[in-house]
Amino acid sequence: MQSDSGTPSDHRYSLITGLTVTHSVRRMTWAGDRAQQENLYVATPKYLITGALGCIGSWVLKHLTDADKQAVVLDLGSEPVRPRLVLDPSQLEKVTFIKGDILDLAGVERVIGDSGITHIIHLAALQVPFCRADPVLGAQVNVVGTVNLLEAARRSAGQVKNLVYASSVAVFGAPEDYPDGPMTHSAGLAPTTLYGVYKQANEGTGRIYWQDWQIPSIGLRPAVVYGVARDQGLTSSPTKAMLATALGLPYHVPFGGSNLMQWSSDTAKVMIQCVEAEWRGAEVFSWGGASVSVAETIRMLEEISPEMAGKLTFDDKQLPFPFEFTDAALEAAVGPLPFTPFAEGVRDTVEHFRRLAAAGLVGPGGLN
Ligand SMILES: NC(=O)c1ccc[n+]([C@@H]2O[C@H](COP(=O)([O-])OP(=O)(O)OC[C@H]3O[C@@H](n4cnc5c(N)ncnc54)[C@H](O)[C@@H]3O)[C@@H](O)[C@H]2O)c1
């Protein structure tokens, strides 16, 4: 929109209904000796986070609101129980929460249109034990749900600029199936759970949405995410050991061996970095973190809280997931990644749990 005087109008302007535009960029071009001014209107980025009432999503909300960015949550749940553990009340007020099911494609499209969504971080999913307990529902939510997000992005006709979705380290086979040393993101897939099979399907879906319709996407394969709000799923036990430490209670981790530990705060930052990248294509990335054994994690917790000596135990059983990856491909695509040393992430988590326990927001029930 251009005013009579040839200067950009300062009126807020909507290119597509629902898109809020807060600033314009003027591009000068010359035709003969007459300047033509063309205003390019840039939509304010607006982020849709599916499944943001979960652990990683809560941290995504924290980092988006820390940076004054607009976040819209689509989740089955209506109470922001986990976000409340991570965001303060004034931050929570800035987030738009929409209760809805990603299986409702028309509903997802409506949210994207009505809210002027430009970026999507798709996290809603059922984790390993839930997929095992109900394989049909697991496939619907994890596979069809992801198709719905990509399809809604396609139908947005360019409004959605980029979509990041959570795949998982569970698309790979057991560590002994691969050569020793850090793996790359292109190592062969060989999932050992239905959950991993569903995530693998999503990676193919993302690829075809780019091939056939040029819908850009980045799939990210988190490994063992730890931190406040990590309370469900096969690999939530190390975090529960941190909660137990904050509460001074005994706890048993039902596995051992080594794991690729990624702090929830760092993981959320990686997701935001990826969705904001200038990105064309469809690719799936693994990245690194801290490769640490459960025994070592327990030793660290005993160091933080010496009264925990002997109260934390584990089964010496390796999980069937690789635990060493390079950052190289993802860093080449989106730049240097955040990484908080494990000892620092663990200490921060225990201290955070202590503050939450003092406020009555977490307790022994969280160890179940
Ligand atoms: N946490 C990890 O260590 C880890 C590791 C690898 C991959 N991932 C993946 O990252 C994503 C986020 O993980 P998380 O630990 O934050 O998950 P989480 O289990 O804490 O949260 C998942 C959220 O999805 C919501 N949800 C489930 N079904 C839904 C539906 N039909 N419609 C809308 N919302 C729905 C749930 O209500 C919940 O709030 C998931 O896709 C998960 O598979 C997580």
Looking at the structure, give the CATH architecture of the domain made up of residues 46-367.
Answer: 3-Layer(aba) Sandwich (3.40)
Listing DSSP states for 237-287 in one string gives HHHHHHHHHHHT--EEES-BSEEEEEEHHHHHHHHHHHHTS---SEEEE--
Atom 15 (ligand 1) nearest CA: 55
Q: Quick check: CB of 49 below 6 Å from ligand 1?
A: no
Q: Quick check: CB of 57 below 6 Å from ligand 1?
A: yes
Which pLDDT tens digit goes with each residue over 239-297?
Answer: 999 999 999 999 999 999 999 999 999 999 999 999 999 999 999 999 999 999 999 99
Of 84, 106, 105, 85, the closest CA to residue 97 belongs to 84
pLDDT, mean of residues 176-196: 94
Residue with tokens 């430490």: 245
| pLDDT exceeds 60 at position 73 | yes
Q: How far apart are CA 135 and CA 56, in angstroms?
A: 23
Q: How far apart are CA 56 and CA 2, in angstroms?
A: 43
pTM value is 0.90
pLDDT at 234: 85
Q: Quick check: CB of 235 below 6 Å from ligand 1?
A: yes
**Torsions phi, psi of 58, nearest 5?**
-60, -40
Atom 9 (ligand 1) nearest CA: 166
Answer whether 118's CB lies under 8 Å from 160's CB. yes
Q: Quick check: CB of 54 below 6 Å from ligand 1?
A: yes
Quick one: pLDDT band at residue 36, thresholds 50, 70, 90?
A: very low
Mean pLDDT, all residues of the chain: 90
pLDDT at 42: 62
Q: From ligand 1's centre to the CA of 354, what distance in Å?
A: 25
Percent of the chain's residues with pLDDT above 90: 87
| pLDDT exceeds 90 at position 90 | yes
Closest ligand 1 atom to the C-alpha of 264? 1
Segment among 64-73, 141-150, 174-183, 194-203 with least mean pLDDT? 174-183
How are strands ordered across the β-sheet holding 70-75?
96-99, 70-75, 46-50, 119-122, 162-166, 217-220, 282-285
